[in-house]
């Protein structure tokens, strides 16, 4: 193509290096003859389709039928001409601005508000252009914009009427008539492997296996919930007063440089006595937790921390943070 028209450069930058008049002549001839990359004369292609044969395992001829799909199922009208040069090829990436409407809708309803996209690159054409519940809501009430920014673009009075009707009819996305849902709940049955009913028994564990006494009151507002992070200073002792663990530094200066113990409460990260006891504390509270062996380290104890078997543990805990 370059050689035939004596164009300078290569096929990628020829538009920059060649003269405009020479380039226009070359490209006009190219489009008239339709000699694009990978194409062949239409007569050759037609003849190839007619002579194509597929052979099965027994080497029998299979006739290939060319299906006539009729005229195209779309109509295009040009609103603004392009450069007539850069036509996309199958498999290439394209970027577009678009507005979609349905034939059953008023063509003047539900336009896309392009003002929100000023200064941003166009979206890749991966959206599904189909009639949706959101579009129906906008169309029925002739609201400007799309479902995400309709509150900014529509008039307040019109929006109030539309949303009041929406809440009265309860036509929210994904909802079903209440009668259908109620009927489904009534008909639900759970069966075990033997199709027998299984009764759920609530195990009575008796009273809590710890005792708490408040040494300093907290704010009575910020109580930790299960799964939240808590931070604590603590000292753990045996019944005879032996300290087996603490995270409190010996001096105030070191305490400023040290971080308290942090963990998720109620998730089994610590002994059960801590999980249950700290859930009853509020931020800033200091408490004494006397924990029975069942909710501490039980029959085995914790030899590496010098906690004997069946030991009752006593902790002084300060809850410094709840996140």
Residues serving a catalytic function are 234, 244-245, 271, 297, 315
Give 62's strand partners.
54
Q: Residues 251, 223: contact at Cβ < 8 Å?
A: no
Provide the 3-class DSSP secondary structure of residue 212.
strand
Q: Residues 141, 158: contact at Cβ < 8 Å?
A: yes
The DSSP secondary structure of 165-183, one letter per residue, reads HHHHHT--TT---HHHHHH
Determine the Cα–Cα distance for residues 27 and 44; give it in Å rounded to an integer: 24
Exposed / middle / buried, residue 235 (Cβ in 10 Å: 0-12, 13-18, 19+): middle
Determine the Cα–Cα distance for residues 294 and 291; give it in Å rounded to an integer: 8
Provide the 3-class DSSP secondary structure of residue 257.
helix
CA angle 90, 95, 97 (to 5 degrees): 130
Determine the Cα–Cα distance for residues 23 and 2; give it in Å rounded to an integer: 10
Measuring CA to CA, how many Å separate 10 from each of 1, 6, 13, 15, 17?
Answer: 10, 11, 6, 9, 9
What dihedral angle (degrees, nearest 10) is formed by the CA atoms of 270, 273, 277, 279? Answer: 40
């Amino acid at each position: 193509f370059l050689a035939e028209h004596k164009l300078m450069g290569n096929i990628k930058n020829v538009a920059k290096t060649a003269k405009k008049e020479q380039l226009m002549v070359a490209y006009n001839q190219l489009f008239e003859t339709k000699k694009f990359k990978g194409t062949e004369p239409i007569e050759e292609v037609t003849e190839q389709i007619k002579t194509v044969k597929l052979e099965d395992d027994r080497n029998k001829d299979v006739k290939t039928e060319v299906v006539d799909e009729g005229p195209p199922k779309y109509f295009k009208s040009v609103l603004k001409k392009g450069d007539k040069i850069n036509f996309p090829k199958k498999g290439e990436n394209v970027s577009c601005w678009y507005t979609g409407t349905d034939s059953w809708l008023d063509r003047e309803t539900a336009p896309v508000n392009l003002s929100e996209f000023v200064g941003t690159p166009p979206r890749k054409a991966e959206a599904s252009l189909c009639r949706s519940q959101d579009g129906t809501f906008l169309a029925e009430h002739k609201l400007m914009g799309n479902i995400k920014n309709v509150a900014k673009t529509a008039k307040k009075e019109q929006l109030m009427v539309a949303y009041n009707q929406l809440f009265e009819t309860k036509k929210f996305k994904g909802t079903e008539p209440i009668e259908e849902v109620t009927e489904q709940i009534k008909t639900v049955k759970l069966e075990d492997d033997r199709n027998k009913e299984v009764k759920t028994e609530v195990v009575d564990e008796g009273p809590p296996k710890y005792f708490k006494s408040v040494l300093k009151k907290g704010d009575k507002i910020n109580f930790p919930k299960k799964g939240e992070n808590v931070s604590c200073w603590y000292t753990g002792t045996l019944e005879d007063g032996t300290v087996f663990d603490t995270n409190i530094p010996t001096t105030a200066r070191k305490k400023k440089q040290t971080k308290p113990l942090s963990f998720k409460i109620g998730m089994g990260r610590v002994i059960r006595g801590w999980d249950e006891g700290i859930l009853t504390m509020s931020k800033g509270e200091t408490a004494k937790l006397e924990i029975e062996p069942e909710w501490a380290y039980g029959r085995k104890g914790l030899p590496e921390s010098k906690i004997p078997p069946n030991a009752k543990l006593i902790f002084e805990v300060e809850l410094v943070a709840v996140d």
